Chain A
Amino acid sequence: MDLPLIAAGTALVYAGISWLVGDRFPFSRYAMYADLEGRREGAVLVVRAGGREVGFAEVIAWHGIDPAAIEPFSVPCSLHWVVFETQAWIRDHTAPSADGLTVPLEVGYRILRVPEVGAMSERFEWRAAGVGRLRGGSGA
């Protein structure tokens, strides 16, 4: 058998099996970002501390914010790993009480909408509010 035929044959077999079985190691349909149908809006997680946008890892003590409440729910979110890591961070850094936590926290989404290129709009949807402490001591 010619070597190029081996490449073509293997490609067809691998593609066929992948299409049938989906994401089963070492096969996959490699469908990341494939489903954009009907996607008009995108949710980007935002954490505000004292009215200022911060990275979630900057807040080292949280109180009053339920991680489950900050899901994007019905709004498409292509950055869901940020949501997952924020939820895990809040769970791991929840303070038992609000004592000494003075920085107001808000967690929500910047909802982006692109009806046409160059005409992007944004609005905010806040999902949860609480108090906390920032890295470096602010809020204690």
Chain B
Amino acid sequence: MIGPALFALALVASWGNSATHVVLSDRPLYAFTTNVMTMPIRTQRLAWAGVASVGFLAALWLWAASGWPRLGAAAVIAALLAIRQVETRQWPGQMVVRLGKYVPAASCLTGWLIVVTLTRTLGWDEPRSVAAGWEAAAGVMAALYPLAALSKLKLTGWRWMRAEHHALMIAERAYTGPKWVRRARSAGSRSRAVCAFVGTFGLLSEFACAAYIFPDARIAVTATVLALHAGIGLFLGYFEPEWLLVMIAIAAITT
């Protein structure tokens, strides 16, 4: 039960992230400061997002707890697509995508939905079909990080791992965050060992995530990704719980 609950939480995190950015799009959310939160909230937009959120939660209930899980999954995916469209239109160009705002939970749920629908059509019974759906979700998750690694190889090649690249990336972020974080980033950006490790581990661990297709490897891959995200949080300054929640959830369901 913990696995599906965590997956549902990942979907809520995905929705909540986009909905928050829609409601608070009139202020600098990424450069978050307490001053920003004292600005008055546009009540009409808040009400609109509240109603939409009730609809999203109803769709989530359909998927997780009703007799129409496929209909619910389709509704959840449609809702996430819709809120993301609204969010994307409030930013110039493809800023939302370039900021690394991806939707791993929706991607995995799409895999789940397609395979459950296919296997039910082929006459599989419900429990086996749902198990196949979660394997499909695991398959999608197994593809995400290797795709990121392949993109790095395509655009930069193996030189992506060069310590100098990561020294610069970390140094750029050494002017924001709490004092101890700034110090850690400043020290990290000056250390060849740290920067070389970040580059090598960053690329190779993403490729290694392909092993998530194997049920026996899922816990180890999840632990690796936890380490990866801890490093990203420390040195690059962002943390996206959706990714980890999805990975832990699917591992809990399928192992």
Contact = CB atoms under 8 A, between A and B. Distances in A.
A112 interface: yes
A4 B169 CA distance: 38
A111 to B, nearest CB: 10
B111 A10 contact: yes
Contact of A115 (B94, B164, B191): B164
A31 B155 CA distance: 9
A84 B110 contact: no
Q: For A31, A37, A56, which residue has the most chain B Cβ atoms within 10 angstroms? A: A31
Contacts of A9: 139
A42 B99 contact: no
B151 A25 contact: no
Interface stretch (B5-13, B46-54, B61-69, B208-216): B208-216
B172 A42 contact: yes
B240 to A, nearest CB: 11
Contacts of B36: 57
A25 B138 contact: no
B30 interface: yes
A23 B84 CA distance: 12
Contacts of B35: 57-58, 135
B43 interface: no
B213 A55 contact: no
Contacts of B139: 6-12, 14
Contacts of B81: 25-26
A78 interface: yes
B77 interface: yes
Contacts of B136: 6-7, 10
Given A81-B31, A85-B31, A117-B191, 13 more contacts: A7-B136, A10-B115, A29-B151, A34-B152, A36-B152, A36-B169, A37-B156, A40-B168, A81-B30, A92-B26, A114-B164, A117-B192, A118-B191
Please list the 9 inter-chain residue pairs (A to B) with the smallest Cβ-Cβ separation, ordered nearest first.
Answer: A10-B139, A32-B100, A85-B28, A30-B148, A31-B151, A7-B139, A11-B139, A34-B151, A35-B155
Interface of B: 26, 28-31, 33, 35-36, 77, 80-81, 84, 91-92, 94-95, 97-100, 102-103, 106-107, 110-111, 115, 131-132, 135-140, 142-148, 150-152, 154-157, 159-160, 162-165, 167-169, 171-173, 175, 189-192, 195-196, 210, 212-215, 236
15 contacts: A3-B132, A7-B213, A9-B139, A10-B137, A14-B139, A28-B102, A35-B155, A36-B160, A44-B175, A56-B28, A81-B99, A86-B31, A92-B26, A114-B164, A117-B192
